[in-house]
Amino acid sequence: MIILDTEWHSKMVRAFAESSHSVTPLCRALMFHELASPDIDHCNRLTLCSFTGPPSEDHCYADIDAAYNFLRKTLNVPAQNIVLYGRSLGSGPSCYLAVKTAQLAKPDAEYAATNGPVGGLILHAPFLSVYRVVIDTGCTLLGDKFPNIDVINMVKSPTILIHGTGDQIVPFHHSERLFDALPKEYRARPLYIEGMSHNNVHSQVRPMFVDRLAEYLEDQVWPNVVVRGRQAITASKARSRIWKIVDTDGPDSEEERVAMGL
C-alpha cells in the first residue's frame, strides 16, 4: 500500500518528493510499499514538477496527477493499493484525484488490470471550498478554489474524515457537511476529536489518531489490496509491524526499511 500525502506547506506528494529520512515518522510508516520495487529509492527522490510563477489550483492538480501517474504507469501499482491523504488545503487535490480515478473505472475490466477508484481517501481538517472557510456563501461562487463539496458525492473510495471540534481555521462543520455529502457506501466512521484545533491533532492525541487510521486501513483498504506472488509474505509481515514504526523519530532501522519495502 502507498499513501500519497498532500499538505498545504509542502510539495504535492511529500513522501515522494523527499527522502524517507526527511519526512515525519508517521509519513514514513504510511509510505509502506508492499509491492517491493527496486525503483522505490528513486521514487523517494523524485522531483514531481517544476512550475514557475505563483502557486495555483491547476498546478496543485498537476502535481498530484504526476505522482499518481508515476505510481500507476512506471511502478505499475494498482489503483486499489494507493490511499490519498489530504490535510487542510491538501484535501482539494486529494478529492480531485479520488473523483478523477472513480470516473476512470471500467466495471467489466479484469480486477486490477486498469485504472479505477483509489483504495482509500483520508481527509484531515478538510474544507467545503476555500471561500467557505471565510464566509458560508451557500453556493460555489465564481473564482472559488477547491470546491470539495461539489465533487465529493462522486467519490467511490472508502473515505474517512478527521477533524478537531475546536478548529478555528477550518470550522468543524465543514467535515460534517462533507461526510453527509459522501455516498453512504463509501463512508468510514469519522474521527471527530473534542476540543482539538487545526494543527495539534498529531501531537496531542497521536495514539487515538494512529489507532483509528490503522483500523480504517485494516477494515476498509487492506481487503481490496492487490498482492502479487512472493510479495504476499512480505506484505503480511510488514502489515503486522507497520504501526509500531509510527512513533520512532530516529533513522530507520533495517527492520523498518524492510517493513516499508525500501
Give the max Cα distance, the chain: 53
Q: Which one from 65, 198, 202, 252 is the annotated catalytic residue?
A: 198
Q: Which one from 88, 94, 129, 175 is the annotated catalytic residue?
A: 88
Q: Please, how many CA atoms are within 13 Å of residue 39, restricted to the half-sphere of its CB?
A: 11
For residue 172, count CB atoms less than 10 angstroms from its CB and return exposed for 0-12, middle for 13-18, buried for 19 or more.
middle
Please confirm, yes or no, whether 33 is among the known catalytic residues.
Answer: no
Please confirm, yes or no, whether 174 is among the known catalytic residues.
Answer: no
Cα 48 to chain center, whole Å? Answer: 17
CA angle 174, 175, 181 (to 5 degrees): 95
Please confirm, yes or no, whether 180 is among the known catalytic residues.
Answer: no
Measured CA to CA, the distance from residue 49 to residue 38 in angstroms comes to: 22
Residues 6 or more apart whose CB falls under 8 angstroms from that of 73 comprise none
Q: Which one from 33, 167, 174, 175 is the annotated catalytic residue?
A: 167
Distances (CA, A) of 111 to 34, 87, 108, 120, 212: 18, 30, 9, 17, 28
Active site members: 88, 167, 198
